[in-house]
Structure 1
Amino acid sequence: MKTIPWQKLAGFACASFFFLAACTKKETTKNYVLEGSLKKWHPITITFDGPELSETDSINPFLDYSLITRFHNGKDTVPVHGYFAADGDAGNTGAVSGNKWRVKFTPSTAGDWQFESQLLKGKEIAVSVAESSGAYSSLWKTKGRFKVMEVDTTAKGFYKTGRLTYAGKRYLEEAETGKPFLKNGVGSPENFLAYHEFDGTFDNGGAETPTLNEGLHEFATHVADWKSGDPTWGDDKGKGIIGALNYLAGKGMNSLYFLVMNEHGDGDDVWPWTAPGKQTRYDVSKLAQWEVVFTHMDQLGMAMNVFTQETENDTILNKGDLGLERKLYYKELVARFGHHLGVVWNLGEETNRSPEQLKSYASYIRGIDPYDHPIAVHNHIRVTGKRMEGRPLDPIQETLTPLLGYRDFEIPSLQMFDTTEVHREVRKWIDLSMGKKKPWVVYLDEIGHWDIGVTTDTAANNNHDMVMRTSLWGSLLSGGAGTSWYFGGLDTAHNDMAAEDFRARNQWWETSNNARVFFQDHLPFWEMKGHDELVSNEKAYCFAKKNEIYVVYLPKGETTDLEIGDGAFTIAFYDPKGGGKLYDMQNSGWKITKPNSVTLSALDGKGDMDWVIVIMRK
């Protein structure tokens, strides 16, 4: 969390009167209402009375006002941007006007907190570096305090484990538990937020999706996955999209990849504005409805991989530069959604932007995000042996090399055309980032040709075994921090734009989750790294903490020699497709005692399937 010494803040001297909020759900005083459970990691919402405005007011409520709240606990201060909230209940009412202004804050420590809020008015003040000058006026200042209790051990999702943070390591960490986070992600449909019950959402002429009703998602088969007590908005809306998240979380998926703006993009059906092209006017009710969905994701422990643009539309804001509209876009995203606990800000899908532009985006977001959420970018695809529309042969290297070691960048979001390259490519960028003294959290976020991705379970060209071997285990056993699974484009009913029923890949979610469970239950994976030099077969992978534990992925029909240290080791086998238990062989008398090398083969002669083999010092 971004902090500054609170004693250094100008214009906010200690008040003689503070509002004391007890551990109740809601208390009011003067011009604000404070709401929340007042527990560590749970969001606190403060809604203020302010000027009565509308989304289309001549004085722009998004651009010409700035609500800043500084939360401090006597040691550190966290500055948080607020936002215009119309009537304060726009997600349910659809309101476009009102006098409510809101700030959301997620405390990372228990104890006594104070806040000091100020609403400023002035031309383009929302994106101004200077928060106070002669050109701006202060409409009001308000102070208060509240007490935060320790973490709720009965809470669910990130409310129990804490914010995902970058700690200078190869994996993100849960801030409360300190445990490394291994992403097991859903990467399609990229227009997940093109949902028919969100206000102001329609198909603006994007790619044809004949299996969808008016081009929008309904997730109708997942309405039955909505549970009593789950959120809705308006007239009982949202059950399909909430149910879809429930289903995915139940299959062990803990991350979702989605665009928050695809105007002029493939889908052309997702934007935060009141209408396409209205880039300084934000749709308050739609964004409040998105907030319902994102809050549910926090409760499920499902990370938000927030893609801010895509390759087809990454110049519609300021022609790709960091100008007024782009700054306001980032500011609104951070103000409204930055309090969530699993956020990764992605600078763009298949980015075309220059390293200088990407760095400017990253540094601007880092400067206004009080929580220092990790920042990622997705590379353009590399097609082996070909040039794409005049682009260099290796756009992955073009995108990522200039970002190595950059202070405001943590995650390369890899897209790989040739899945046989995944294992080496992940290892490459881990090693290069380590050499720059800022280890990257390397994600694999898209695979294969655009029209294939991961097929449905029943597809005639089912590719699950290949993807399992090359991309799932291939990335993780190089030290990759997780994956997102892209659906491909040929199957019109289940592709990257039209996917409605996530059960079409039910078996794949189980296969993917087997890897996550194996890593979390059986390995100190954060202490291990790729060691393919220890195996003789180039088709095998080796991930190890040398002389302590070795994990070898052995494709079907293959054998390999493994170099190990001296002494006694045990051996166990795991079925990466079927999952389940480790087949521990030590009770059968199979112990590895031969110094320096051992030959590995399939369990009990079952060479017609892939095996994961665990060799551990006794």
Structure 2
Amino acid sequence: MLSKPTIMKCAIIFKYLLLSLGCLFINYSVAQDSKNDINYQLEGELKKWHKVTIVYDGPHSSEQAEINPFTNYRFNVRFTHKATNKTYLVPGYFAADGNAGETSATAGNKWKVHFAPDEIGEWSFKVDFRKGNWSAISDKADTGVSAAFMDGHTGSFTIAPTDKKGIDFRSKGRLQYVGERYLKFAETNEYFLKQGADAPENFLAYADFDGTFHNDGHGDKLVKTWSPHIQDWKTTDPVWKGNKGRGMIGALNYLSNKGLNAFSFLTNNIKGDDKNVFPYVDYNTWDRMDISKLDQWEIVFSHAQKIGLFLHFKTLEVENQGLLDNGGVGANSKLYYRELIARFGHHLALNWNLCEENGEWVKNPTTPPQDTMQRLAMAHYFKTHDPYHHHLVIHNGKKFDDLLGAESGITGPSVQTHRADFGSIHKEVLHWLAASKKAGKQWAVAVDEPGDAQHSLLPDKENPDHDLARRNGLWGTLMAGGWGNEWYFGYKHEHSDLTCEDYRSRDLFWNQAHNALQFFEENNLSYWEMENHNELVGNSENKNTVYCLAKLNDTYIVYLNSLESSVLDLSETSNTYKVHWYNPKTGGKLKTSKIKKVSGGQKVDLGKAPKGEQKDWVILLSKI
């Protein structure tokens, strides 16, 4: 018969064998600090660019606790890479029972921090956990008092290389602003061109999310089911609470399957057009978060990143630019920004948009539009508190002149235009690229609301050709040197910016957007080394007839917007070039015309397009 001590030893060994075996099949491990009796879990794949989550047992609290867990605790973790000494100070958050997206829990003792490591090898971490009135938003090192529990706790883990491939952003690394006209992936050094959906702005007003917004009397009829896209959901895709989420996940699958790589959404539209999207427990409470709803948002965002979709966070809109702190960056704004960064900042491909249509006056405003100092203050907060320094943009409204320069946190504009024919886009992109460079900080410029508010990108059944959107909007942006577009749906049409639940309403145009991305990718064009040279095709006045994007003496792209042919000035080069044609409407392989090659040292006639009724063509000249 075994002795009691022997039985206890066997039980302990058996326990740890089970834990070890469990870690082979599920992506978390349970750890305990024997000295301080601190329990925590390390969740996720311990690989470069993957989300690693540390879950602590901390103080028990709830969304409605008297001591507010969102404002009165500051949970930060500093991660340090052993070999490089690179450090990241990452905010954490109160997570109820740690699984609220499934349980709808509002209370618990779990506290989480997410981290996306950018180096292989050993990382150490140290917790700073403080308690005090509004300590969550304090930058003071010793704010309040120690909150005990995991405060001061240290640990480490080892990161292996990424094993992901294809469009999954974990194969490419973090998408970064690098002081150039295009964003760049840190792992592969690839640059990024985007095409995606700007609408509907109330993408997150979704019936399958938890929350009070469904029937609170504020825009309830605009809550979406995304039911047309249930057919696009796959059995291997995520859901929550049984079978919820299939419509929204399917919508993202559809965009990705069409070859698009971006979508956008408001995260707070209280007092706005829709009024159903906010991170809070209810419409009128701005210091307490709806934990389960935000967990469900995270499921959606994580899936989007795996299928190659860039996340465009629009944090405010024109109607609520003064909502939280009368336009300033006070306690409510800081808390809102902190929670966004803590819960979603680990994602690899995103930008923070400070406000849609910012700086405009609206009817019956409760506060005036934000002024320059308030705009700069928003940018400064993200610049100094986002550990990953994601691309930071703002939308017009008011033009961006007051935000130019090296000291501004803004790294690019999110441009809105106002012409139904998309005719001002090329000139707008050229202007902001030149103005930002002259001011000492080159912006990456995207046009995220092309066209006008009433019409913009029409449904296929009204405009199956989408000629003006393609010619003036899509190619007008890319040929100026912009890094891409997101497409707005006008409010006077079906499937509008507020009512759309079916991205197939613009299916034919998505093909044309994908054609543009394919042209640059499949022909291995170093667009990031190219600049606009309209003067070489006689278009120095920015007319919408012919554009030129070129790496001088190497590669020239000429876009015929409404002409049958063009002359290209190659006087400054002695090279010889192959001439190919590309149909931007139908895509496909490069074509040749009668003139198959040209020599430099002169102005050359590029000939006429291949046969067909097509009114716009792309001409590619490649050095022989």
Output the TM-score relative to the length of structure 2.
Answer: 0.89
Q: Which moved more, 1:158-167 or 1:116-125?
A: 116-125
Distance change >3 Å, CA 310–CA 377, structure 1 → 2: same
Task: Tell me how far apart the structure 1 counterparts of residues 283 and 92 of structure 2 sit (CA, whole Å).
Answer: 24
- Once the two structures are superposed, the pairs formed by residues 452-491 of structure 1 within 5 Å of their partners are 452-459=455-462, 461=463, 464-491=466-493
Deviation at 1:148, TM superposition (A): 0.4
Distance change >3 Å, CA 286–CA 547, structure 1 → 2: same
Is 1:162 aligned to residue 173 of structure 2? yes
Deviation at 1:526, TM superposition (A): 0.5
Task: Tell me how far apart the structure 2 counterparts of residues 134 and 349 of structure 1 sit (CA, whole Å).
Answer: 36
Match of residue 194, structure 2, among 159, 183, 204: 183
Q: Which residue number in structure 2 is paired with residue 68 of structure 1?
A: 76
Task: Tell me how far apart the structure 2 counterparts of residues 452 and 288 of structure 1 sit (CA, whole Å).
Answer: 35
* Structure 2 gap ranges (5+): 1-19, 33-38, 360-369
Q: Which moved more, 1:279-288 or 1:512-521?
A: 512-521
Q: Which residue number in structure 2 is paired with residue 229 of structure 1?
A: 236
Q: Which residue number in structure 2 is paired with residue 540 of structure 1?
A: 546
Is 1:272 aligned to residue 289 of structure 2? no
Distance change >3 Å, CA 495–CA 134, structure 1 → 2: closer
Q: Which residue number in structure 1 is paired with residue 372 of structure 2?
A: 355
Match of residue 126, structure 1, among 131, 136, 145: 136
- What's the CA shift string for 1:29-87, capped at 9, x where partnerless? 23111111101000001111011111011100000011111111221221111000001
Q: Which residue number in structure 2 is paired with residue 391 of structure 1?
A: none
- What's the CA shift string for 1:135-172, capped at 9, x where partnerless? 55444332211110012144751111111111111100
Task: Tell me how far apart the structure 2 counterparts of residues 316 and 451 of structure 1 sit (CA, whole Å).
Answer: 26
Q: Secondary structure at the match of 1:466?
A: helix
Q: Secondary structure at the match of 1:280?
A: strand
Q: Secondary structure at the match of 1:222?
A: helix
Match of residue 591, structure 1, among 574, 583, 597: 597
Q: Which moved more, 1:532-541 or 1:170-179?
A: 532-541
Q: Which moved more, 1:301-310 or 1:198-207?
A: 198-207
Task: Tell me how far apart the structure 2 counterparts of residues 343 and 159 of structure 1 sit (CA, whole Å).
Answer: 13
Q: Which residue number in structure 2 is paired with residue 52 of structure 1?
A: 60
- Once the two structures are superposed, the pairs formed by residues 260-409 of structure 1 within 5 Å of their partners are 260-352=267-359, 353-380=370-397, 395-396=398-399, 399-409=400-410
Q: Which residue number in structure 2 is paired with residue 526 of structure 1?
A: 528
| AA partner of residue 50 (structure 1) | G
Task: Tell me how far apart the structure 1 counterparts of residues 103 and 57 of structure 2 sit (CA, whole Å).
Answer: 18
**Does the Cα contact within 8 Å between 2:379 and 2:408 map onto a contact in 1?**
no
Match of residue 616, structure 1, among 610, 615, 622: 622
Q: Which residue number in structure 2 is paired with residue 449 of structure 1?
A: 452
Deviation at 1:282, TM superposition (A): 0.4
Distance change >3 Å, CA 593–CA 156, structure 1 → 2: closer
Task: Tell me how far apart the structure 1 counterparts of residues 188 and 466 of structure 2 sit (CA, whole Å).
Answer: 33
Task: Tell me how far apart the structure 2 counterparts of residues 134 and 451 of structure 1 sit (CA, whole Å).
Answer: 51
Distance change >3 Å, CA 557–CA 113, structure 1 → 2: closer
Task: Tell me how far apart the structure 1 counterparts of residues 614 and 305 of structure 2 sit (CA, whole Å).
Answer: 41
**Does the Cα contact within 8 Å between 2:131 and 2:143 map onto a contact in 1?**
no
Q: Secondary structure at the match of 1:162?
A: coil
Q: Which residue number in structure 1 is paired with residue 28 of structure 2?
A: 26
| AA partner of residue 140 (structure 1) | M
Deviation at 1:401, TM superposition (A): 4.0
| AA partner of residue 424 (structure 1) | K
Q: Which residue number in structure 1 is paired with residue 46 of structure 2?
A: 38
Deviation at 1:600, TM superposition (A): 3.1
Deviation at 1:584, TM superposition (A): 3.9
Task: Tell me how far apart the structure 2 counterparts of residues 607 and 227 of structure 1 sit (CA, whole Å).
Answer: 40
Task: Tell me how far apart the structure 1 counterparts of residues 562 and 77 of structure 2 sit (CA, whole Å).
Answer: 59
**Does the Cα contact within 8 Å between 1:204 and 1:268 map onto a contact in 2?**
no
Is 1:202 aligned to residue 207 of structure 2? no
**Does the Cα contact within 8 Å between 2:456 and 2:488 map onto a contact in 1?**
yes
Identity rate of aligned residues, in percent?
Answer: 40
- What's the CA shift string for 1:307-345, capped at 9, x where partnerless? 000001111111111110000000000001101111200
Q: Secondary structure at the match of 1:365?
A: helix
Q: Which residue number in structure 1 is paired with residue 362 of structure 2?
A: none
Task: Tell me how far apart the structure 2 counterparts of residues 155 and 466 of structure 1 sit (CA, whole Å).
Answer: 32
Task: Tell me how far apart the structure 2 counterparts of residues 79 and 608 of structure 1 sit (CA, whole Å).
Answer: 54
Task: Tell me how far apart the structure 1 counterparts of residues 334 and 91 of structure 2 sit (CA, whole Å).
Answer: 13
Is 1:238 aligned to residue 235 of structure 2? no
Distance change >3 Å, CA 329–CA 134, structure 1 → 2: closer
- What's the CA shift string for 1:63-120, capped at 9, x where partnerless? 0011111111221221111000001110001011111110111100000111112322
| AA partner of residue 88 (structure 2) | V
- What's the CA shift string for 1:237-295, capped at 9, x where partnerless? 10000000001001111111110000100011100000012100100000000000000
Q: Secondary structure at the match of 2:459?
A: coil
Deviation at 1:528, TM superposition (A): 0.4
| AA partner of residue 237 (structure 2) | D
Is 1:412 aligned to residue 413 of structure 2? yes
Distance change >3 Å, CA 591–CA 219, structure 1 → 2: same
**Does the Cα contact within 8 Å between 1:556 and 1:607 map onto a contact in 2?**
no
| AA partner of residue 115 (structure 2) | F
| AA partner of residue 295 (structure 1) | S
Deviation at 1:572, TM superposition (A): 0.3
Task: Tell me how far apart the structure 2 counterparts of residues 527 and 72 of structure 1 sit (CA, whole Å).
Answer: 35
* Structure 1 gap ranges (5+): 1-19, 208-212, 381-394
**Does the Cα contact within 8 Å between 1:400 and 1:412 map onto a contact in 2?**
no
Task: Tell me how far apart the structure 2 counterparts of residues 205 and 470 of structure 1 sit (CA, whole Å).
Answer: 41
Task: Tell me how far apart the structure 2 counterparts of residues 594 and 88 of structure 1 sit (CA, whole Å).
Answer: 66
Q: What is the CA RMSD across the aligned residues, in angstroms? A: 2.0
Q: Which moved more, 1:603-612 or 1:120-129?
A: 603-612
Deviation at 1:405, TM superposition (A): 2.8
Q: Which residue number in structure 2 is paired with residue 17 of structure 1?
A: none
Q: Which residue number in structure 2 is paired with residue 582 of structure 1?
A: 590
Q: Secondary structure at the match of 1:66?
A: strand
**Does the Cα contact within 8 Å between 2:451 and 2:473 map onto a contact in 1?**
no
Match of residue 258, structure 2, among 247, 251, 256: 251
- Once the two structures are superposed, the pairs formed by residues 492-531 of structure 1 within 5 Å of their partners are 493-522=494-523, 523-531=525-533
**Does the Cα contact within 8 Å between 1:543 and 1:552 map onto a contact in 2?**
yes
Q: Secondary structure at the match of 2:432?
A: helix
- What's the CA shift string for 1:433-464, capped at 9, x where partnerless? 222332111000112221101011111x5571
| AA partner of residue 103 (structure 1) | V
Task: Tell me how far apart the structure 1 counterparts of residues 49 and 174 of structure 2 sit (CA, whole Å).
Answer: 7
Match of residue 204, structure 2, among 173, 193, 196: 193
| AA partner of residue 202 (structure 1) | H
| AA partner of residue 69 (structure 1) | V
